[in-house]
Structure 1
């Protein structure tokens, strides 16, 4: 809170510090995706133990989303279809179900907090739960789990730092690129897997629009995290969307820049179009 007024009278005004106008994302202009990866692997563990809270808070949301029907209850629906045999009880299904259930609960009004990323609960969920599910499946050490979570969140912030403050690009997609990095670290520990995975995601789900926070956000969460896991599996088999295709380049940072350039420039008028569509819809 920076200002409180009552009947035109200033009751409280916070003093502005010297860095009030500083851009907290400036540091990310000086680093690369590889440096983000290397820092996450090498940083002193005690300095990143706080990231455990992301797993605790967002897992609680996931459990709540699987307990009751919230929003579109996609997580519960997918779990039901595993029981019916229409979906496999595999790691991809677990990632989609447990991550989407957290978003169902978040968007459906559950009175539980989410650990956010870049100011968004759904982004925090997308950057957290896929890594948690894979870490549980592999039964990794606490250190590896924490480093994977930290890498996921830091990579998500790194990519998001290249977006404008308001964007028509659904940022759940970029947060899921963070969890793609975290999963790649858990499965191979190699930056090359991270790079190939994120490039494939940008070749796959770039351009998904944000049409306002709503229950359907959970659909975009499920789509994005599925793309992330699929892209890691491809990378492990030495295949990915290459620099010969579309907006993807042979360098990860340039590929990320291309995606964010489209979000900053080409998608500039989408918000206005979305609002026009929403306000002109007939009442049900």
Structure 2
């Protein structure tokens, strides 16, 4: 068993990274930063200038903003300034009302009220800078390194917070060094009451899926899959199709801007959904005990957190690769797998999904999430059959932690030029 002091560190890390969120976390983080700038200013801003890293801009362009029926950053920024409360963190817009949306639309319509620009002189991939002005008063707030990680606050030249010179991100401030073995040992041996909190991820994300299946959000992939396996029998009515429909449904609703909270992982609601729903549905369909579910969810979410430690909060790599790898571990555990099988499952996932690009947050993310979790089921089945991609194949190494580093090196370093090209394509589309 992991020593108590280290268990407490890991639990604190999980509670920081697995948190409720409403809406896509990139535009919501921009709304959070805007809310903080407005609070620092002390009044409604007359002008708001927003400077964003390329990854934030990419992930905020095509996604629905909860409670608005609108897409993109301007309405998120306006609502952040008008009704946002920074104390709500990633639920910053949960007090949104139709009246606030109308006021937000008026703010957007005012010339030069909201200006958005690319901050192209920084290396940090998660960077949000908001400067709000009213008369002669000016306030600036900066988030960097994490979706809720404020590094700078200033009003009229008086600095109340400045962590920029330290060059630390949320991840660098963490003192917990994880390996896959440590993640597995923690999840399977920690006293159950210490990790019971992870069940809230099940409650939030399953509720989101069930709400989505009642309506029609985004591309309606989850509902389509459910109707297919209930009526047309194209894919059958089984645990596999249940996993796909529930996972994609929750993603459908979130990307469409439904005012439904989900439990996020490492700053991403989609990652939280993909790390949760496949595990929950497998456990329920196979009548697993509550303790087994708790341990499987812990293994899934902590695996994702571990991989993100070296990948970073945002990258050119689609987050479903990371989260689905987590759920693959959880499913393997529920199938009766031990550490060896979990390790095989991770190797299989890395060999299959590495390189899937992130081209922003948008309704079609549900298709990518579904691809990821379908691969998770396949990789778990292979692992339980003692089948594993070998070290002579591609980027896989004998040591699974090195394979994980190969995955994250490709995502964080090797795909940087891909990231730039994706953003260039997204911002220079032609209508002919």
Structure 2 Cα separation of the partners of residues 112 and 132 of structure 1 = 19
Structure 2 counterpart SS, 1:162: helix
The alignment status of 1:155 with 2:285, answered yes or no, reads no
Aligned position for 1:139: 287
Structure 2 counterpart SS, 1:8: strand
Seen in structure 2, the aligned counterparts of structure 1 residues 260 and 79 have a Cα distance that, compared at 3 Å, is same
Match of 2:368 among 205, 220, 240: 220
Structure 2 Cα separation of the partners of residues 13 and 142 of structure 1 = 49
Retained in 2: the 8 A contact 1:100–1:222? yes
Q: CA deviation at 1:274?
A: 0.9
Aligned position for 1:8: 138
Q: CA deviation at 1:22?
A: 6.1
The within-5 A match list for 1:1-284 is 4-5=40-41, 6=134, 7-8=137-138, 10=155, 21=168, 23-24=170-171, 26-28=174-176, 30-82=177-229, 83-283=231-431
Task: State the Cα deviation string for residues 139-194 of structure 1 (Å, max 9, x = none).
Answer: 11111111111111001100111113431000111111011111111111401111
Structure 1 Cα separation of the partners of residues 354 and 298 of structure 2 = 24
Structure 1 Cα separation of the partners of residues 213 and 238 of structure 2 = 17
Retained in 2: the 8 A contact 1:117–1:123? yes
Structure 1 Cα separation of the partners of residues 239 and 160 of structure 2 = 49
Moved more, 193-202 or 115-124: 193-202
Retained in 2: the 8 A contact 1:49–1:146? yes
Aligned Cα root-mean-square deviation (Å): 2.1
What is the count of residue pairs matched by the alignment? 282
Report the structure, 1 or 2, having the larger strand content: 2
Q: CA deviation at 1:13?
A: 7.0
Q: What TM-score, normalized to structure 1?
A: 0.93
**Which 4+ residue blocks in structure 1 deviate beyond 2 angstroms?**
9-17, 19-28
Retained in 1: the 8 A contact 2:266–2:313? no
Structure 2 Cα separation of the partners of residues 280 and 230 of structure 1 = 37
Q: What TM-score, normalized to structure 2?
A: 0.62
Q: Give unpaired runs (5+ residues) of structure 1.
A: none
Structure 1 Cα separation of the partners of residues 168 and 427 of structure 2 = 35
Higher gyration radius (CA): 2
Task: State the Cα deviation string for residues 247-276 of structure 1 (Å, max 9, x = none).
Answer: 111221111011111112210112210121
Structure 1 Cα separation of the partners of residues 160 and 362 of structure 2 = 33
Structure 2 Cα separation of the partners of residues 196 and 31 of structure 1 = 18
Q: CA deviation at 1:64?
A: 1.4
Report the structure, 1 or 2, having the larger helix content: 1
Q: Give unpaired runs (5+ residues) of structure 2.
A: 1-32, 42-133, 140-154
Structure 2 Cα separation of the partners of residues 225 and 139 of structure 1 = 20
Q: CA deviation at 1:283?
A: 3.4
